[in-house]
């Protein structure tokens, strides 16, 4: 298995693109954590958000990058929102708003 640094070099991914990938990974990880903390299955979350379960699965496996309106459709019923915050130098984080 290749190291990410090797794959990144082969794909010629810029640092900016890598930062975007990391933000998306953090966002997905946070969404999964929220769903699990609430004790919900993907099907239950899909029903709550009025979407189909495969949409939740594709989003959670990062095989689908959701648009902002889709994220809000999922976050709002869970009691969350998106917030734009400055990135800390060399530290990319997704802030959870309670």
Residue 81 lies in a domain: yes
Rounded CA-CA distance 65/48 in Å is 20
Tokens of 78: 């869970």
Has residue 37 been placed in a domain? Answer: yes
Count of structural domains within the chain: 1
Residue 36 lies inside a defined structural domain of this protein: yes
Q: Kindly state whether residue 31 falls inside one of the protein's structural domains.
A: yes
For 64, residues 6+ apart whose C-beta sits below 8 A from its C-beta are 55, 58
Q: What span, in angstroms and rounded, lies between the C-alpha atoms of 74 and 25? A: 16
| 84: in domain | yes
Whether 88 maps to a domain, the answer reads yes
In a domain, 3, yes or no: no
What is the value of pTM for the model shown?
A: 0.73
Any idea what the CATH number is for the domain that residue 53 is in? 1.10.260.40
Average pLDDT, the chain: 84
Structure-token pair, residue 31 = 């969404």
**Residue % of the chain over a pLDDT of 70:** 87
Note whether residue 5 is domain-resident.
Answer: no
Residues 6+ apart with CB under 8 A from 42: 35, 53, 56, 57, 60
The larger pLDDT score, comparing residue 4 to residue 97, is at 4
Residue 37 in tokens: 């903390």
Structural domain boundaries, residue 79: 22-98
């Amino acid at each position: 298995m290749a190291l990410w640094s090797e794959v990144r070099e082969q794909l010629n991914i810029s640092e900016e693109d890598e930062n975007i990938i990391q933000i998306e990974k953090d966002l997905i990880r946070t969404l999964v954590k929220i769903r699990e903390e609430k004790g919900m299955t993907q099907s239950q979350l899909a029903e709550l958000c009025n979407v189909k379960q495969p949409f939740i699965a594709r989003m959670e496996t990062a095989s689908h990058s959701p648009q902002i309106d889709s994220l809000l459709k999922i976050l709002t019923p869970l009691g969350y929102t998106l917030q734009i915050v400055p990135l800390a130098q060399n530290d990319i984080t997704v802030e959870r708003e309670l």
